[in-house]
Amino acid sequence: MHQSIRKSLVAVPLAFLLLVPAARGGEADALPPSVANARAQLLSQFFAQGGASPAVLEYRRKLQEYQAARGAFDEEAGAYWSQISEKRKGRNAKRRSGQQIALDDYVLEHPPVYTGPKRPVNPEPEETPERPAKKPIPVVADLLRAAQELYQFTPQRPSSEVEFKRAYARYAVASGLTREQAVRVYSFETGGTGSYDVQAGIEHGGRRAISTAMGYNQLLTTNSVELLAEQGHEFIRALSDKVARASGPGRQALEHKLAILKKMVAHAKSVPDTWSEHEKIGNTAQGWAMHAMVLDIDIGPMLQTHKLLTSVLFARAKGYTRPLTAAELEMMNLTGDGTGLDMVTMPQAMREQVPTSNFFQRGGYERNPVAIRHNTVAKLLAVTDERMDSNSGKPGARELAAAF
């Protein structure tokens, strides 16, 4: 009965309902009870809906269905991701106390997937809240401008791509990276064709920067600030050695660069050594100026090298002495040293069973189609290796390999 009344409501125009004369005296008693009740319910529902059109009524019905389904899913997903967080805390505690990590220290089920109805489209115009304007992402011109305005310095760009690759190869080998690690990570990060100043989004025909990630190993502004803070003493030592071997105008230029480097390192060290504090600097013009050093023929190769070398040293400090494969190093490069090492130290049998969701926050996982499709540690490492294999034969990768 309810469905038939609702359909009757859709079919009856408002004007008709308003023009039907009210019954007088005993005329209402003459109507059959079923007709009188139906009419009363029809009018009650109609006015309760505020005279909404059939399309709006259908939208509201579908919206209720969507909200119910989505609410149930969010409750299930929330419980799942809470379990992921608790398991992670447990693993960290076991590592601190020197205990062995076992299979049951991970969540072995994959995240729930929403399969309910899509959110319906409202046929009526809706007010959309104003979103704050996104801050522009700095590109090379912005970095150079910041370096000149804040430090009166312009990075020394290489005369060619080969020159930068050779400088990177020399410093990487001297620091302990292997050719395989450097070339295969470069192949993954840049597609095997990237230049020393390639920026995420502005490659392979792209016209808009999607982040500040730049260079062979795609350093963010925060990476540059953090490396200057943590490895600045090494950069200063290496550049001081080069100054000592130079003479004439070349030496003067290097001395100026060294003075600027010391200022940048001091600025980077002026805040607590945390990612969040370095990120604050990275989002300012001062951080952009520091990031410009990625482009410098002397400092750039050191920044690119230490982006990977810090992961190698982190693994050694944690007692992992086996050389990292390029895919393992890339996992640490992408997810952070602590999370990456969690995957790297896992035996192969466990890699086959442990879902990738164990190493992400919910939002990051749901925005990562690669981790979703290749949903175990073994599969994620395998697809990383496959991409490295494919891209290592491209011109930029071959040129970098030759530089070693």
* Bridge partners, 214 (sequence order): 199, 219
User: Are residues 33 and 93 part of one domain?
Assistant: no
User: Are residues 42 and 79 part of one domain?
Assistant: no
- Tell me, what's the pLDDT at 40? 53
Residue ranges for the chain with pLDDT beneath 70: 1-51
- Tell me, what's the pLDDT at 12? 40
Strand, coil or helix: 191: coil
pLDDT digits (tens, 9 = 90+) for 216-262: 999 999 999 999 999 999 999 999 999 999 998 899 999 999 999 99
Chain centroid to CA 276: how far?
16
User: Are residues 359 and 235 part of one domain?
Assistant: yes
Alpha-carbon distance of 196 to 182, in angstroms, equals 13
- Tell me, what's the pLDDT at 1? 43
User: Are residues 12 and 91 part of one domain?
Assistant: no
Contact 371, 356 (CB under 8 A): yes
How many domains are contained in the chain? 3
- Tell me, what's the pLDDT at 32? 58
Helix 221-245 / helix 275-282 crossing angle, nearest 10 deg: 80
CATH code for position 306: 1.10.530.10
- Tell me, what's the pLDDT at 126? 75
User: Are residues 191 and 292 part of one domain?
Assistant: yes
* Cα dihedral sign, 142-148-153-159: positive
74 occurs within a structural domain:
yes
- Tell me, what's the pLDDT at 127? 76
- Tell me, what's the pLDDT at 50? 55
User: Are residues 387 and 338 part of one domain?
Assistant: yes
Alpha-carbon distance of 255 to 222, in angstroms, equals 26
User: Are residues 66 and 36 part of one domain?
Assistant: no
Alpha-carbon distance of 197 to 182, in angstroms, equals 16
